[in-house]
Chain A
């Protein structure tokens, strides 16, 4: 399989699933070409709704559709979608409306558009809500399986997708399961817990560490909530060192979830590899391409 953005894999999966399940509908806020639902809209024009640049309204309409028995995918950039937190909180989470929230363009990996367009705090926000599992697939294969799972999931959930292409990290036999982390590379010296785009980077890092005689265990944490506590604790107990790797603010993401777990159950030295830019003294985070 060639490298593919998880948003692109999502768009392809929707078209395929949409043929079998007429309950599937999409909602967008003028970003359907970027969230990759445009293909679905072209194929099933009566089942795709563009609400304009009005994300709160879009999420509310999605909640109503879900409560009327449909399977709505409400899509936007992660920051714009989760930024309408209060509507997600009440109309989706507390109403138990089975909306499939899809946030694309996550992390600093989106590049030149800059930090106002980056999903940097979405995991932190949604982790605080009840009733919303958080899924971040690491490659095309896993994305397509996660989208298929989302259709059948009885409640709401959140899919966190990348703008950038992702190299395959799974073989064809892999099967996504909600709440299960998968060990991609066994090791006994240090545990690398990665999620989303950086999973591939973690595997590359493990290869380099092996040259120095350090055997890193790389685990793909595709479900950030609920966390696969058993797999994480088993690995951390064996290696005694944990590093989390993700593309999200250092506050409230996978690193925080793992630190909470280890702190409560099995205190283990841990460090978090991600953007540290959102400190109290940092207001902005300039970004751009390296070429001048």
Chain B
């Protein structure tokens, strides 16, 4: 979008990092690394790009968002709460019995979630179907699918990568679909390069017929510009390779496979939040730090 308010978006993303740490600490389990690597992308999408109405989650003309890497849903829950789908104080019910904020996205329990995901590698196919359905129905809405690099090892991903550029043609090409890869380089067991390397991923995507844009996934201006380009591209979907850092914003989590799927202890959470917000601690972060410190003393 023209002239994004970068300072505001960066501040939303900063609070997102704090809320992710807070949610996971209360839950005692979850995936901080990938949630922190994807939060700048989600902030750009939710607060400077997508058209939606939290009061009408089933609005037919809404843009669709599918988080294929469903384990990073805390980042999405924060964006949804901040956008008004549900109150912010519900965030700490993450992973609690009976909460709509399930460990992985649950479409039936939480209005606004478009598909159950987290069984990896399925979100792209579902997004293609949504994009095709919107085209067939004459709707102008767009579909955004955020994928992980680890999950891109799944066979179903490559089935979909092969078919998406041509699907729906000649009358209903999926130029309403934009796929964003959160390329943080780490999966559960180790670095992606060491398990099953995706490289040269840009060449592979181009060979499959995708226009590919590469951005720094933590630079909101770059992400936003690429989304502009994707929206302007006609005749097929666009793929954005967003280079990111797993655990971004918390020095002891950054680029360490250990923090793929481990919740911080309360004292680690306090340290992480102090790092994210810097000094002096802003007023809004003080109660969160106090709350987590108290949690550590229980």
On A, residues with C-beta under 8 Å from B are 25, 46-47, 49, 51-52, 54, 56-70, 72, 86-87, 89-91, 94-97
CB pair A46–B129 under 8 Å, yes or no, is no
Q: Which residue of A lies closest to B161 (CB)?
A: A57
A51 touches which one: B117, B133, B163 (CB < 8 A)?
A: B163
* Contact of B116 with A90 in the complex, beta carbons under 8 Å: yes
**Cα-based distance from A156 to B32 in the complex (angstroms):** 34
B67 contacts partner chain A, Cβ-Cβ < 8 Å? no
Main secondary structure of the interface of A (DSSP, over half): helix
Are A65 and B129 closer than 8 Å at their CB atoms?
A: yes
Which chain B residues have a beta carbon within 8 Å of chain A's beta carbons? 60, 106-108, 114-119, 122, 124-134, 136-137, 155-156, 159-160, 162-163, 167-168, 171-172
> B132 to chain A: which residues have CB within 8 Å?
49, 61, 64-65, 68
A64, B127: Cβ atoms closer than 8 Å: yes
Pairwise interchain contact B116-A64, C-beta atoms closer than 8 A: no
Complex CA gap A19/B162 in Å reads: 31
Asked if B114 and A60 sit within 8 Å, CB to CB, the answer is no
Given contacts A25-B136, A54-B163, A96-B108, contact A91 B122 (CB under 8 A): yes
- 4 interchain residue pairs of minimum CB distance: A64-B129, A60-B125, A68-B133, A57-B159
Most buried by B among A25, A57, A63: A57
**Given contacts A52-B163, A64-B128, A87-B119, could you give 16 more A-B pairs where the C-beta distance is less than 8 Å?**
A47-B136, A49-B132, A51-B163, A52-B159, A56-B122, A57-B125, A59-B125, A60-B124, A64-B115, A64-B125, A64-B133, A70-B133, A70-B137, A94-B106, A95-B116, A96-B108
A34 to B: closest C-beta gap in Å: 20
A87 CB contacts on chain B under 8 angstroms: 119, 122, 125, 156
Task: Take A60-B156, A61-B132, A65-B132 as given contacts and tell me if A91 and B126 are in contact as well, using a CB distance cutoff of 8 Å.
Answer: yes
> Looking across the interface, which residue of chain B has its beta carbon closest to that of A89?
B119
CB distance from A139 to the nearest CB of B (A): 33
Contact of B115 among A47, A56, A63, A89 (CB under 8 A): A63
Contact B116 A68 (CB under 8 A): no
Nearest residue (CB) in A for B133 is A68
- Whether A67 contacts B129 in the complex (CB less than 8 A), given A60-B160, A96-B107, comes out as yes
Chain A-chain B contacts (Cβ-Cβ < 8 Å), number? 119
Most B Cβ at <10 Å: residue of A47, A61, A64: A64
Question: Is there an interface contact between A60 and B128, defined as CB atoms closer than 8 Å?
Answer: yes
Q: Is the CB of B125 within 8 A of A56?
A: yes
Which B residue's beta carbon lies closest to that of A87?
B122
* Other-chain residue from B122, B128, B134, B163 in contact with A90 (beta carbon distance below 8 A): B122
Q: Can you name 30 A-B pairs with beta carbons within 8 Å?
A: A46-B171, A46-B172, A49-B167, A52-B162, A54-B160, A54-B162, A54-B163, A56-B125, A57-B128, A60-B128, A60-B160, A61-B129, A61-B132, A61-B160, A61-B163, A63-B115, A63-B129, A64-B128, A64-B131, A67-B114, A67-B129, A67-B130, A67-B133, A68-B130, A68-B133, A87-B119, A91-B125, A94-B107, A95-B116, A97-B115
- In whole angstroms, how far apart are the Cα atoms of A51 and B114 in the complex? 22
Instruction: Kindly state the separation between the CA atoms of A212 and B246 in the bound complex, as whole angstroms.
Output: 76
Distance of A69 Cα from B172 Cα, bound (Å):
16
Known: A46-B171, A49-B167, A97-B115. A64 touches B156 (CB 8 A): no
Please name all residues of chain A whose beta carbon is closer than 8 Å to the beta carbon of B118 when the two chains form the complex: 90
Shortest Cβ gap from B173 to chain A (Å)? 13
> When chains A and B are docked, how far (Å) is the Cα of A86 from the Cα of B115?
14
Which A residues touch B162, using CB under 8 A?
52, 54
Q: Is the CB of A91 within 8 A of B115?
A: yes
- Whether A94 contacts B116 by the Cβ 8 Å rule is yes
A95–B107 touching, CB < 8 Å? yes
Chain A residues lying within 8 Å of B134, measured Cβ to Cβ, are: 68
CA distance A54 to B157 in the complex (A): 10
- How many whole Å from B219's CB to the nearest CB in chain A? 30
Q: Are B172 and A61 in contact (CB under 8 A)?
A: no
Q: Which residue in chain A gives the minimum CB-CB distance to B143? A: A64
Tell me which residues across on chain B come within 8 A of A89, comparing CB atoms.
119
From A47, A68, A86, A94, B129 is in contact (CB under 8 Å) with: A68
Nearest A residue to B156 via CB reads A56
Docked Cα-Cα span, A67 to B116, in Å, equals 11
Question: What chain B residues lie within 8 Å of A91 (beta carbons)?
Answer: 115-116, 122, 125-126
The closest CB in chain B to the CB of A50 belongs to: B163
Residue of A49, A57, A68, A96 touching B156 (CB-CB under 8 A): A57
